[in-house]
Amino acid sequence: MDVLDDLAFRGYIFQMTDEDKLRRRLAEGQMTLYCGFDPTADSLHAGSLVPIMGLRRFQDAGHKPIALVGGGTGLIGDPSGKAEERQLNSLEVVQAYTESQRVQLEKYLDFEAVHNSALMVSNHTWLSELRTIEFLRDVGKHFSMGYMLGKESVSSRLSTGISFTEFSYMVLQAYDFMELNREYGCELQVGGSDQWGNITAGIELCRRMLNKTVYGLTFPLLEKSDGTKFGKTETGTLWLDPEKTSPYQFYQFWVNAADRDVVKFLKLFTFLSRERIEALEREVEARPEKREAQRVLAEEVTTFIHGADARARAVHISEALFYGNLQDLNEQEIAEGFSDVPSYALNGADEVGLIDLLVDARISSSRRQAREDIGTGAIYINGQRCTDMAHILEPSERLAGKYLVMRRGKRRYFLVRWSV
């Protein structure tokens, strides 16, 4: 399938410049394109998946992707999508974030392909070499105030205020496009729809200063069907770093996708064929209770981001929790599966009374409440209901020799850990 037709089917295209010309250029042969990634944290997050996978789809179609990490523009701050000024980070912090994101991006693009290997660069390389007077004289003159004020990323901030620092971001991003065209022959910039003004500014600068025709394409900014922000969970942002969001938590985000979202997510975040996705869509309509589409989605995305071993571990944890077979979990799986639940460290004692533990670990609010919880069958130890008020927890009950998984009611989990 033509790459633009594939992107359209999958819901990737929000805007593009001169579609007919862009189609003709793509049909002529390999094109170099780029997308920028803003180093505002030490990890990319779920919102970064659309541009990452967009670049990968172009690469799979034979084109050459450039991942540009904003080591220079990250020191300035992009005003797009923000109601107020960003807090500026130090050079050391931005460089650390840039390097972390560089390592992550190397997992998702092919840097060893024979004919279209991916490239990764930081715009700090050239922006740090710019001289103020020459830059204002040679580049700044191509940007009129009316032109810049008319861009959504700037105009939306005029009522709340925008500094010259963030106001200048558009010029720097436009310069990036020109530099990448000059150095690598880059002809297409892709990014989120909030980057449209910056992208078209770069297209215009390439026309004015290089007399070159280049193109732009934006992806939609995602929102879940319930109106909540995509990539947010009860515990916060869905990170791609397994140390910040465990593969199990990552898997759970996708497996819990709403029926109204799952087909859209399959199109955007998997490399499944059109036929396979349409078959899963029919499955959602006919047998939504089986949640087969959600399972496939979770396995595909977790494998792409974290690898087959992490995916298998996440599936194993999920099945153990669902069927109550917690004894099947090893130490790593227990720690990963319950990394986001309240935990309690128990020091020294080999044995402890159940009521004492429920109160000390704040699973129950008082001894009276603890007795009531036990009596009504609300307390589970390692997946098994316990109704014995006098139960003593012994070392033989510990999972992996150091854990107890406590549950109160249907969903409230607690992890008790013995210190070694």
Please write the tens of the pLDDT for every residue from 350-383. 778 999 999 999 999 999 999 999 999 999 998 8
Express each pLDDT in 213-262 by its tens digit. Answer: 999 999 998 887 777 778 777 667 899 999 999 999 999 999 999 999 99
pLDDT computed for residue 1 by the predictor: 66
Spell out the residues 6+ positions from residue 39 whose beta carbon is closer than 8 angstroms to its own: 69, 70, 71, 74, 94, 97, 98, 100, 101
Residue 187 confidence (pLDDT) above 90: yes
Residue 179 confidence (pLDDT) above 90: yes
Report the CATH number of the 3-219 domain.
3.40.50.620
Residue 310 confidence (pLDDT) above 90: yes
Of all residues in the chain, the percent with pLDDT exceeding 70 is 96
Spell out the residues 6+ positions from residue 114 whose beta carbon is closer than 8 angstroms to its own: none
Average pLDDT over residues 159-173: 84
Instruction: Quickly count: other Cβ atoms within 10 Å of residue 72's Cβ.
Output: 24
Query: What's the chain's average pLDDT?
Result: 90
Give the residue, 340 or 68, on which the prediction is more confident.
68
**Residue owning tokens 């180093």:** 39
Q: Which of 85, 404, 282 is nearest to 414 (CA)?
A: 404
Name which CATH class applies to 232-333.
Answer: mainly alpha
Residue 346 confidence (pLDDT) above 90: no
Q: What are the residue boundaries of the structural domains of the chain, listed by start?
A: 3-219, 232-333, 343-418
pLDDT computed for residue 63 by the predictor: 97
| Second CATH level (architecture) for the domain 343-418 | Roll (3.10)
Express each pLDDT in 196-206 by its tens digit. Answer: 989 999 999 99
pLDDT computed for residue 302 by the predictor: 97
Express each pLDDT in 390-401 by its tens digit. Answer: 999 888 888 888
Of all residues in the chain, the percent with pLDDT exceeding 90 is 62
Residue 167 confidence (pLDDT) above 90: no
**Residue owning tokens 């047998």:** 287
For the chain, the distance separating the N- and C-terminal CA atoms, rounded to the nearest angstrom, is 58
Backbone angles phi, psi at 277, to 5 degrees: -65, -45
Express each pLDDT in 10-62 by its tens digit. Answer: 999 999 999 999 999 999 999 999 999 989 899 999 999 999 999 999 999 99
Spell out the residues 6+ positions from residue 384 whose beta carbon is closer than 8 angstroms to its own: 324
Handedness of CA 328, 332, 333, 335 (dihedral sign): positive
Give the residue, 341 or 358, on which the prediction is more confident.
358
Alpha helix locations (H) across 190-291?
Answer: 196-205, 247-255, 259-269, 274-286
- Full-model pTM: 0.85
The single-letter code of the amino acid at 135 is F
